[in-house]
Amino acid sequence: MEKFIINGPTILHGNVTIAGAKNVALKAIVTSLLTDDEIVLHNMPHIRDVLLMLEVVKSLGANVTIDGNTIRIANGHTKNTIVPLEIGARLRTSSMVLGPMLSRYGSAMIPNPGGCRIGARPIDRHIEGLKLMGATIDYDSKDGYFHAHARHLHGAQISFLKNTHTGTETLILAAVLADGTTVLKNAAEEVEIDDLIALLNAMGAKITRSGNKEITIVGVPKLHGTEYTIMSDRNEEATFAIAALTTKGDITVHHSQRHNMKTFLEAFEKAGGVYNMLDDTTTEYFYDKQIQPVDIVTGIYPGFMTDWQAPWALLMTQAAGISTIHETVFENRFSYVEELRKMGANIAYFDPNVEHPEIFYNFNWKDRIHGTHQGISITGPTKLHNAILSMNDLRAGATVVLAAMVATGQSSVYGVEQIDRGYEHIDTRLQALGASIERIEEDEVV
Ligand code: EPZ
């Protein structure tokens, strides 16, 4: 077990290069199953979830070579179509191999990806779409696997009842080799999906965004290998921009995705932050004056991303006044609140007044957990103090690490594996910005 020892307060300043986008990298790895040619992926982040996803495709017979941030995958011979439980159950995106396995080999067994710390996260929308394309998929609670078969996948008209980012991607991955044309309606619009589409089209797929929240995929008989550089990570950039503002510092971000972060930049400026567009892919974020409270409602693209709300809450603890965050995508995404409260933050839960919550919220209303809330109100500014902290999920982890940098004193932060899932070498990059953060092996408690 590792932990971080962090001393604060720290002012962060300097340069950071944003890593490749986790939420593209994981799906790019899945595309290797769609061809027996080699694919070469550049700008791949060194994060735990990428290594886990590589274990998934290796268990299905792929040969993988990692050379810095370049990963080469040759899927010569798929040994089997069963994703091992101990790998698949740890990574939600492992379920996305369903489409490629069904379209190429007619069968697949994947562990139930199950929930994680931010909610139930079922894949019912993925399954319903695959069934419309001719798959039979049954869940066996005895072995914890989804058992999927398809003599061949055929094109279909699929209209998602509610938005789903990876659901949209799962159906794209299933449709590229299917017989005929598939049209996805109410398809997700996150820009990471467009990067995946560009990669698949470079492999010979025929995918277009054919209308408002509509994607058309014309099935082709075969895909070929390619070489592709994935986009950089919007979530990393938002985290570093918030780090600059919260610590009253100044961080210049290279490989910036600001052109895909309009709602974030609007909120950032409303809070009193300043950003300079140094060139097309370089953005400087810095503190200028007292932070102001800004109310946030998270939403699907192009709204304020749910992945940004956790570090944003930390920023709002430093704002002069009361701000609120209304989380509408996941049903349990405030795990960091208790950690910030330990440091003196003044945060209260509330239930926003919503007329038809079963329609309004992006999660399945029946999945909500008794006693959770969709809103928090934050009163600031608060001088945070050190504490013994833990990271319960990826974005909450980044929030807690930043909070320890704002706080006065030395904090211990447990659960480092959570933040390593999605932030490449976060400690060394924060050290380069002036942070006092040390990763140490925690003696196993005997
Ligand atoms: C993706 O999750 C991202 N993960 C998330 O990033 C991101 O927060 C989310 O999209 C929203 O943009 C990856 O791409 C690997 P959804 P995903 O399907 O696809 C419910 C991070 O920190 N739902 O759009 O799982 C679901 O539980 C992660 O990098 C169903 O009920 O999100 C959620 O509440 C966190 N049934 C809501 O809908 C389904 O079949 C939106 O889910 C599918 C989803």
pLDDT in tens, 152-167: 899 999 999 999 999 9
Distance 205 CA to ligand 1 centre (A): 24
Which residue lies with its CA nearest to atom 27 of ligand 1? 121
C-alpha span between 171 and 219 (Å, rounded): 12
For ligand 1, is residue 119 a contact (CB within 6 Å)?
yes
Q: How far apart are CA 287 and CA 212, in angstroms?
A: 38
Residue 323 has pLDDT above 70, yes or no: yes
> Would you state the pLDDT for residue 446?
47
* Ligand 1 atom with the shortest distance to the CA of 301: 12
Kindly give the number of the ligand 1 atom that is closest to the alpha carbon of 300: 12
Contact 409, 384 (CB under 8 A): no
* pLDDT at residue 281, rounded to an integer: 98
Mean pLDDT of the chain: 95
> 364: Cβ below 6 Å to ligand 1?
yes
Q: How far apart are CA 226 and CA 204, in angstroms?
A: 9
Distance 142 CA to ligand 1 centre (A): 26
193 lines ligand 1 (CB under 6 A): no
d(CA 24, CA 156): 25
Backbone conformation region of residue 278, classed left if phi is above 0, alpha if psi is from -120 to 50, else beta: alpha
220 Rama class: left (phi>0) / alpha (psi -120 to 50) / beta? beta
pTM, two decimals, is 0.97
Query: Residue 445 above 70 pLDDT?
Result: no
* Cβ neighbours of residue 293 closer than 8 Å, sequence gap 6 or more: 271, 316, 319, 320, 321, 322, 323, 378, 380
Contact 234 CB / ligand 1 (< 6 Å): no
Q: Residue 304: pLDDT above 90?
A: yes
**For strand 13-17 and strand 250-254, is the pairing parallel, antiparallel, or unpaired?**
parallel
The residues pairing with 64 across neighbouring beta strands, listed in sequence order, are: 73
Strand duo 388-390 + 409-414: pairing: parallel
CA distance 358 to 221: 40
Smallest CA-to-CA distance from 263 within 353, 189, 170 is with 189
Q: Integer distance in angstroms from the first to the last C-alpha of the chain?
A: 13
Let me know if 116 is a catalytic residue: yes
Share of the chain above pLDDT 90, in %: 89
The pLDDT assigned to 444 comes to: 57
Q: Is the CB of 384 under 6 A from ligand 1?
A: no
116, 191, 198, 354: which one is catalytic? 116
Helical pair 191-202 and 165-175, crossing angle rounded to 10 deg = 10
